[in-house]
Amino acid sequence: MNDFQYLHTSYEQVQVKSGLNNQTKIPDVYLVEDDHVLGVTIKKYLEKKLGLTVHFFLSPNECLLELDKKIKSETVVNQSPFCLITDISFEAGGSDGLLLVDLLKERGHHFVSIVMTGFASIETAINATKKGVFHYLTKPFELEILCDLVTKAFIKKLNVPASAFSELESNQSVLKSNASLSQNGATHLFQSKFKIEAPTADDIFCGMVGRSKSMKLVFERIRKVAASDSTVFISGPSGTGKELVANALHHLSTRRTHNMVSVNCGAIPSELLESELFGHEKGAFTGAISSRKGRFEMAHRGSIFLDEIGDMPLLLQVKLLRVLQNRVIERVGSTETTEIDVRIITATHRNLEESVSEGNFREDLYYRLNVIPIKIPALHERREDIPLMISYFLSKFVSADGRNNIEFDDETLELLIGYDWPGNVRELENLIERLVILKGGNQIKSSDLPAKFLKTAPQSVESYKNIISLPSDGVDLKQVLSDIEDSLINQALEITGGNKNQASKLLTMNRTTLIEKMKKKGFLQLN
């Protein structure tokens, strides 16, 4: 199901219903722009180049009122589509172009939209995609680019025939390329703005990749605190690279010539963790056949990284607090203390403030650990870094001769940037490695991605509403629903390359149920 199925009817359908088959008038354009000079310029240019009618408004409210009058004057059968071109931000009254898009959908208008902004951001682009916007333009832009986008919007989304446009000679190359495209083809918001590119030297810091403001702040804080001996507390979701931050802190410090010891407090059974951290004496417990140094002693004059500190048992938290206060440790089974000189770095994906309030983590220890906090953002909070990271991981997994290199089409790149990445950087790295191994030497299409990417693909929230207008003489509801079911099954199979397992996930049904329906409908031959 594509992003523009909220449109009641296509241009061709309107022509048929209203008896306008022999006319070639292009639907109108509604332009909303509070910069009067720019708005007039766009209006005159589009009218001259494409021979269409452009209605110009300085605010979303003016446009909304005019379109509401238009829809009241039309019957359901004669409602005609249009193209909306709107700025996103307006100075007066805090108006919003994306809100205008939502309001027009709610009121039953039939349109395709293009948005403009002078303050581009990846989050705004994602939001526009989810609202079903056809394209996202960053100011300043060439008027010719806008003209081409309007042409594509009419041809590909409203089914306007290429012959309907005036000035064919000046637009011949555009019309020729678009006329040959499938009516179901997609134009992606990231096509011109976001491309996979290799990170520069400034984008890579101690094995971490980032150009976003949030990551640059992380890099800067690491540089500032690395030379000190202060305790550092690293927080952030799993898979964001907290261990890389800890390694950077050690290797940029004066302790880099000594050991950097890492301990995952959540991976070691609680009854063994004390011995692992502080060591034990011979005979301290069954199986202690010799004395053994703990991780703190191994890290003497270096750094120790206590990962997942939030999983440490309360009893050990007390002993760790003593280490922080007195800088001495005591082996299990010993009464002697050993002085240590170690820099302590801790990390967790948990919210320790909540753990403190729930009584699962000592408050005094929390404040001892949280001397210098470093928070690592989730990957979905810095989507602009995703193209850089894809390139970085490709350079890591693609062979030197490049024979197993992979490329991504625009639709697939859009899915990758729009995905929420619950596993963060680790999940992205694993995906790229898998694709290089399984699909090396090919272009990656959306159907090559796991089904979870397809299921969360951005689409209009109205995409399930107003798919078809009810004719005055009624419909055979059973037949219509059967036809819709056929269409959705075929689309799911097409998206997944005929993979029934993934198709059933897209349709949220059991695989056996899908196969039974395919048998009844007579298209089980799809593989």
- Tens of pLDDT, residue by residue over 218-249, are 999 999 999 999 999 999 999 999 999 999 99
For residue 17, pLDDT beyond 60:
no
Q: Where in the chain is the domain with CATH 3.40.50.2300?
A: 11-179
| pLDDT value at 521 more than 60 | yes
Secondary structure of 98-165 as H, E, C letters = HHHHHHHHHCCCCEEEEEEECCCCHHHHHHHHHCCCCEEEECCCCHHHHHHHHHHHHHHHCCCCHHHC
Is 210 strand, coil or helix?
A: coil
Token look-up 């810095």 returns 382
Q: Give the CATH number of domain 213-376.
A: 3.40.50.300
Reported confidence tier of residue 312, pLDDT bands at 50, 70, 90:
very high
- Whether the CB-CB separation of 80 and 27 falls below 8 Å is answered with yes
| Percentage helix, strand, coil for the chain under 3-state DSSP, each rounded to 5 | 45, 15, 40
pLDDT tier, 490 (very low <50, low <70, confident <90, very high otherwise): confident
Domain 475-527 sits in CATH 1.50.10.20: no
Rounded Cα distance, 271 and 157, in Å: 64
Is the model more confident about 448 or about 121? Answer: 448
Phi and psi dihedrals of 326, rounded to 5?
-110, -10
Distance CA 107, CA 93 (A): 22
Could you give the CA distance from residue 194 to residue 409 in angstroms, rounded to a whole number?
Answer: 12
**Residues 475-489: what's their mean pLDDT?**
81
Per-residue pLDDT band for 470 (boundaries 50, 70, 90) equals low
**443 DSSP β-pair partners:** 407
Whole-Å CA distances, 423 to 219, 238, 239: 21, 7, 6
Query: What's residue 13's pLDDT?
Result: 44
Q: Which of 73-82, 134-143, 378-387, 502-511 has the highest mean pLDDT?
A: 378-387
Mean pLDDT computed over 181-188 = 38
CA 516, 518, 524, 527 torsion-angle sign? negative
Q: What residues pair up with 138 in beta bridges, in sequence order? A: 117
- CA atoms of 104 and 463, how far apart (whole Å): 14
- Please state, rounded to an integer, the average pLDDT across all residues of the chain: 81
CATH architecture of the domain with residue range 11-179: 3-Layer(aba) Sandwich (3.40)
Q: Does position 321 have pLDDT exceeding 60, yes or no?
A: yes
Q: Report the alpha-carbon distance of residue 413 to residue 420 in Å, rounded.
A: 13
The answer to whether residue 22 scores a pLDDT higher than 50 is no
pLDDT of residue 41: 87
Q: What is the mean pLDDT of residues 427-449?
A: 92
Q: Which residues contact 378 (CB under 8 A, 6 or more apart)?
A: 236, 237, 240, 421, 424
Q: pLDDT at residue 49 above 90?
A: no
Q: How confident is the model at residue 456 (pLDDT cuts 50, 70, 90)?
A: low
pLDDT band at 350 (very low <50, low <70, confident <90, very high): very high
Q: How confident is the model at residue 261 (pLDDT cuts 50, 70, 90)?
A: very high
Domain with CATH 1.10.10.60 in the chain: 475-527
Question: Region 24-39: what's the mean pLDDT?
Answer: 82
CB of 43 within 8 A of CB of 172?
no
**3-class secondary-structure state, position 299:** coil
* Rounded mean pLDDT, 428-436: 95
Q: Is the pLDDT score of 301 beyond 80? A: yes
The pLDDT of residue 202 is above 90: yes
Specify the pLDDT at position 162. 63
Q: Which residues of 426-453 are buried (b: 16+ CB within 10 A; e: fewer)?
A: eebbebbeebbeeeeeeebebbbbebeb
Q: Which among 230, 363, 238 has a CA at the least distance from the CA of 303?
A: 230
> Residue 317 is encoded by which pair of tokens?
């938290």
Contacts of 15 (CB under 8 A, 6+ apart): 21, 23
Band of the pLDDT at 337, cuts 50, 70, 90?
very high
The residues of the chain that CATH labels 3.40.50.300 are: 213-376
Q: Return phi, psi of residue 115, to 5°.
A: -115, 150
Do 87 and 117 form a contact (C-beta atoms < 8 A)? yes
**How would you classify the pairing of strands 29-32 and 82-87?**
parallel
For residue 2, pLDDT beyond 60: no
Round to whole Å and give the CA distance between 277 and 218: 29
Residues in Cβ contact with 210 at an 8 Å cutoff, skipping those fewer than 6 apart: 203, 216, 218, 219, 382, 385, 388
Task: Place 10 in a pLDDT band, splitting at 50, 70 and 90.
Answer: very low
Question: For position 313, what pLDDT does the model report?
Answer: 93
> What's the confidence (pLDDT) of residue 24?
53
Averaged pLDDT for residues 34-58:
85
339 φ, ψ to 5°? -75, 145
- What mean pLDDT comes out for the span 73-92? 73
Alpha carbon 58 to chain centroid, angstroms: 33
pLDDT of amino acid 461: 38
**pLDDT of 253:** 96
Q: What is the pLDDT of residue 305?
A: 97
Question: Number of C-alpha atoms within 13 angstroms, CB side, residue 64?
Answer: 16
Q: Are 44 and 11 in contact (CB under 8 A)?
A: no
